[in-house]
Amino acid sequence: MAREQMSEAAERSKSQLAYHWLKERIASEELTPGYRLVLGSIADQLGMSVVPVREAIRRLEAEGLVTFERNVGARVSMIDDTQYRHSMEALAILEGAATALAARHLTDDDLRQARDLNRRLVESLDDFDPHRFTAVNHSFHAVLFAACPNPRMRALVDAEWTRLGHLRDSTFSFVPGRAQESVREHEVLLDLIETGAPLPDIERAARGHRSATLAAYLSHEHPDGVTTSL
């Protein structure tokens, strides 16, 4: 009996150690939002079994720092849903306008580069890595708004992209299914630009594309009906 009590106390101590170890790394953003927490890997790093790690993760989940999904596992939660939503709403408007303003200034080389980047995104869907997808996705959109003749608009878009990078690791970590829809919307946007569509149509497509990603995230994280105003 005493031996069992000692064993339980040791497990609680290890669980406490794992809890503080994980919480410190989440707070410092060493483990970024969306990061998948693999029990075996963490246990190996801490030199313990997965049991105390599992208990630590359950505790972090109760505090809202970790989310758990069936068939996916535990992930670091979004730092601040509200800030993320506000940035995505702002970016939808700013990037939509910047993309429309840039449309008539894009060269054939720019459009070829954008299509090549979107092709890479399509090819990455079979072996999906949300972080790599997000990086290439950023490059794709950067090509489209970089030609915007309004430097202030470009600076605002860049600032919101940077801010989003601090708020979440990758939206596609939470809604990987959104990636397939995203690349199809890229093609539509490129077709509009290449055919010289009216600028309001291009702006609407670019804005709707960003809003759809936000809506997919909100639907996933808040199935109780939270929606975006866009």
How confident is the model at residue 159, as a pLDDT? 85
Cβ burial of 209 (10 Å; 0-12, 13-18, 19+) is buried
Task: Name the β-bridge partners of 68.
Answer: 74
Give the pLDDT confidence score for residue 120 in this predicted structure: 97
Q: Which ranges of the chain have pLDDT less than 50? A: 1-6, 227-230
Q: In sequence order, what are the residues at sequence separation of 6 or more whose Cβ sits closer than 8 angstroms to the Cβ of residue 135?
A: none
pLDDT at position 71 is 75
- Check if the beta carbon of residue 92 is closer than 8 Å to that of residue 162: no
Q: What's residue 33's pLDDT?
A: 75
Helix (H, G, I), strand (E, B) or coil at 193: helix
Residue 49 is predicted with a pLDDT of 92
